Amino acid sequence: MSSTALKSDEPTVKNKKIPVVAIAGATGAVGVEIMQCLEQRKFPLSELRLLASARSAGKTMKFRGKDVVVQELTDESLKGVDIALFSAGGAQSKRFGPAAVKAGAVVVDNSSAFRMDPNTPLVVPEINSAALATHNGIIANPNCVAIVAATPLWPLHQKKRIARITMATYQAASGAGAAAMEELSESTKAFLEGRKFEPKVLPHPYAFNVFSHNTRVDPETGYNEEETKVMQETRKIFGEPNLRVTATCVRVPVLRAHCIALNIEFEEAMSVAEARAILANAPGVRVVDELERNYFPMPVDASGKDEILVGRLRKDVSDPTGKTLALFVAGDQLRKGAALNAVQIAEKLLG
């Protein structure tokens, strides 16, 4: 075994070469989750390279019971890689993504760097895995909110076309990375102890507070960058450039798992019973809709889970046509909203 990478003598899968896999941004919250997904799903690989910034080089991380030494992300460290799972930020993706492709790798990128590039597929495997056939070396992993919303909405859209989506998000600290999760924990502790705490990662106090998503607001539209991403990416994932989508994105003091309140207008009437039956059989979705117990999707139940939880299914009583439903979803931003989706894309690449 190499001192810097885990190697395996596993046999080939479906007569294909077992890939050398690299995780760029391996020490971040999503990178750690990607490694866990690879291990839990028994992803076939001949070598795993953990790549990060120079300050993280030399650290060791456990994978399949063995220590793997983190290497610095460089052009040299990407040589010989077959699949590169990037979660190192947009700047690093733009710098090293094309270099990885030039070195022979297929890149699955978790940043926003390539998502709206018309030549780069934006993929949620349960929805549009066929788009993988058109990639030019880079495949974009969508925004976490777009994934969490689109996964349960797609099977409904397949049955009866969606005309308009209105969403309000309740986004956890995990969406801003490990540092934001730590800041939420520390600021909550300080609040409870009556100590002053100055936020450094996020622009507003996080403990016991709710605030608009901390991305730049467009002065013309009034939408912040997160809202714009979600709207644009949902259209691209669905292949519906004219789909009417609006979003309000908010940060809430929760460590993991984003929630979304969705109001869905269909082109024709859709009953609650019909929607529930569709969602009960939808891949990547689990219905949690217990009216008697008032028990519906919650971050505490979605955290660490692969499925998107869906509930609060009901008719929108403000629409007498019966074409509009309301529902509530919860999904782990670090799992299906990021790491798991990337690993599922890699699994599709293996065939």
- Pick the catalytic residue: 144, 157, 213, 249? 144
Say whether 258 is catalytic: yes
Among the options 135, 157, 213, 258, which is catalytic?
258
Contact 175, 255 (CB under 8 A): no
Element spanning 64, H or E: none
Identity of the residue numbered 3 = S
The tally of CA atoms less than 13 A away on the side-chain side of residue 289 is 21
Q: For residue 72, list its beta bridge partners.
A: 52
Q: Which two tokens stand for residue 15?
A: 């007569």
Closest-CA residue to 343 (of 41, 14, 25, 3): 41
Strands 211-212 and 258-266: unpaired
- DSSP class of residue 3? S
* Catalytic (active site) residue 249: no
- Residue 258: strand pairing partners: 331
Cα–Cα distance between 95 and 75 in angstroms, integer? 10
The residues carrying an active-site annotation are: 144, 258
